[in-house]
Amino acid sequence: MSLAISKIDLTDSCAVWRRNSRVYLRLWKTELVAPIIEPIFTFFAFGFGVGALVTSDVEGLSYLSFVGAGVLAFTVLMRTIFEMTYGAYFRMVYQSTYDAILATPVNAESLAFGEIIWAVTKGVVDCLFILPLVVIFGSATSLFTPLSILPLIFGCIYLGGLGLAITAHVYEIDYFNIFFALFFSTLFLCGAWFPIEMLPGWLQIVAFIIPTTSVIDLCRACLTGNFAVKHIYESIYLLIISVLLLEWALRSIRKRMVA
Amino acid sequence: MNFAIEAKNLVKRFADIAAVNDISFIVKHGETFAILGENGAGKSTTMRMIACRSPLTTGELSVEGLNVKNADRRIRSLIGVVPQENNLDPDLNVRENLLVYSRYFRIHKEIAQTRCDELLEFIRLKEKANAKVEQLSGGMKRRLIIARALLHRPKILLLDEPTTGLDPNVRQEIWEKLEELRRTENLTIVLSTHYMDEAEKLAQRLIVMAHGRIVVEGVPHEIIKDKVKKFALEIREADSFNLRQTDKILSQKRGSTHLYFAKLPKI
């Protein structure tokens, strides 16, 4: 059995990507509100609000430095997941955009990949707006700060793949509620707001299995310059999960659309 | 002889249900071919198999001499699909709908611009080029979908119930455009429809499908002569009074409307 990833035609995926970017450029003013407003208020809440209660250092960092990676990853990943769930579902079911595209030489795999690289692009664009805020609020102290885009790209691929695969299995929009209940629950465990070492042992294992934990940890390493051996393992884990979920998304879209 | 479409013992099963059950037919180059039948007869599934959107369960299907099992990309570049439902892109305007779509066929930008102007002229929507899709009437949307399917100069145009839900003068207009296309572009047209009048008006040959099988095959006017009674009497609210029925009159009931068919009127 051949891999779905091997069936991707990059020129076709690019055509799908360009369709989405054209719509984005038309709506760019509304699209950019969230990635600017959200992190500012998250910094207010966690940096100044919760941060005021945290007097000791967290993993050798001030709380504001610690929480920066969480704010950055939280905003970027959230955009990706919404784009690949509700956004993709609208295009697939309500607008039948996928149907229209699949009547052309573009195959299901290239369509799905085009959608995912679009979600990644949106994440990266958001990241470019949030990073200066992270610097302004004093959370980025290292010269490696721009590198934090890399773990976020893989975070977007993994969550984009997961989101699109789930979307391909959803036949009623309300089913997203179950997925989001699980997804939001994991976000509180993945080391964005406190070190996962504070959790009981078994819950730490759960936290490490959630790939978002690796994304945030790697982001934090880039923002603060505190690298460790565990970051190599986290990178490998994130890479493997991204490829697996990408493959699952491609297969799921084919199964849903070509039947 | 090489045919535009050749289907042999085509079967499509969804779980235990055979949506298409062992059908064979051919479509010749340059003809308009109709697949007639009620909802659930298997028309759309057959169209989806031709468009390489639905893998065959068993059987053989070739389009322009290419096997759907291994040449789907090539086939999809040779056919233009007009779906039953409107799937124009509401996020884009009329012109953008064509231009963005042309990229999926890898049409060069400048050629796409010219082709786009030509087609907007052909469907008489040039003055609406910058309008949003929602601002178009049902007939205009249908015309735009047809134009979109013609962007890459396909050899075969597949139309799934092209005039369902449109008012009579718009249907007439669409028919004229399709006839013009067949004549001037030498296009092979395959359409599925509920309406005998549509099949009669457009098609040179047709098949009638029911429960996934072909029940009648032939030339429209001969089928009509043979199968359809010459006179029909429609009585609405017929339940409110008693009508005596003779053996020579065939009747059909649709809700409270009774339809009576006879070869000769008996008054």
Q: Could you tell me which residues come within 8 angstroms of residue A86 by beta carbon, excluding any fewer than 6 positions away?
A: A173, A176
What pLDDT sits at residue B240?
A: 66
Q: What are the distances in angstroms from CA B240 to CA A148, B237, B243, B250, B252? A: 78, 6, 10, 20, 16
What pLDDT sits at residue B167?
A: 84
Q: Kindly give the pairing relationship between strand B205-210 and strand B213-218.
A: antiparallel
Q: How far is B223 from chain A (nearest CA, A)?
A: 32
CB spacing of A100 vs B100 below 8 angstroms: no
Per-residue pLDDT of chain B (267 residues; tens, 9 = 90+): 589 999 999 999 998 899 999 999 999 999 999 999 988 899 999 999 999 999 999 999 999 999 999 999 999 999 999 998 899 999 999 999 999 999 999 999 999 999 999 999 999 999 999 999 999 999 999 999 999 999 999 999 999 999 888 888 888 888 998 988 888 888 999 999 988 889 999 999 999 999 999 999 999 888 877 766 666 666 666 666 666 655 556 666 666 666 666 555 444
Domain B5-227 homologous superfamily, CATH: P-loop containing nucleotide triphosphate hydrolases (3.40.50.300)
Chain B interface includes A29 (CB < 8 A)? no
Closest CA relative to residue A223, chosen from A52, A59, A81: A59
CB spacing of B103 vs A257 below 8 angstroms: no
| Start and end residues for every CATH 3.40.50.300 domain found in chain B | 5-227
Percent of chain A with pLDDT over 70: 100
CB spacing of B76 vs A101 below 8 angstroms: no
Predicted confidence (pLDDT) per residue in A226-252, tens digit: 999 999 999 999 999 999 999 999 999
Contacts of B71 in chain A (CB under 8 A): none
Percent of chain A with pLDDT over 90: 69
What pLDDT sits at residue A33?
A: 83
Predicted ipTM of the assembly? 0.89
Token pair 């449109």 is found at B166
Size of interface A-B (CB pairs under 8 A): 67
Q: What angle do CA B16, B17, B19 make, to 5 degrees?
A: 150
Closest CA relative to residue A167, chosen from B162, A159, B54: A159
Please report, in angstroms and rounded to a whole number, the separation of the first and last CA atoms in chain A: 18
Q: How far is B235 from chain A (nearest CA, A)?
A: 40
- Tell me which of A26-30, A175-179, B102-106, B219-223 is least confident: A26-30
| Cβ contact A34:A79 at 8 Å | yes
| Mean predicted lDDT score pLDDT of chain A | 92
Contacts of A11 in chain B (CB under 8 A): 106
CB spacing of A23 vs B91 below 8 angstroms: yes
pLDDT band per the 50, 70, 90 thresholds, residue A186: confident
Contacts of B149 in chain A (CB under 8 A): 103
Residues of chain B contacting A, Cβ within 8 Å: 14, 51, 53-55, 72-74, 76-77, 81, 83, 85-92, 96, 100-101, 103-106, 148-149
pLDDT mean over A36-41 = 86
Token pair 């065959």 is found at B56
Chain B interface includes A93 (CB < 8 A)? no
Contacts of A96 in chain B (CB under 8 A): 83, 85-87
pLDDT surpassing 60 at residue A88 = yes
Residue B86 structure tokens: 């409107």
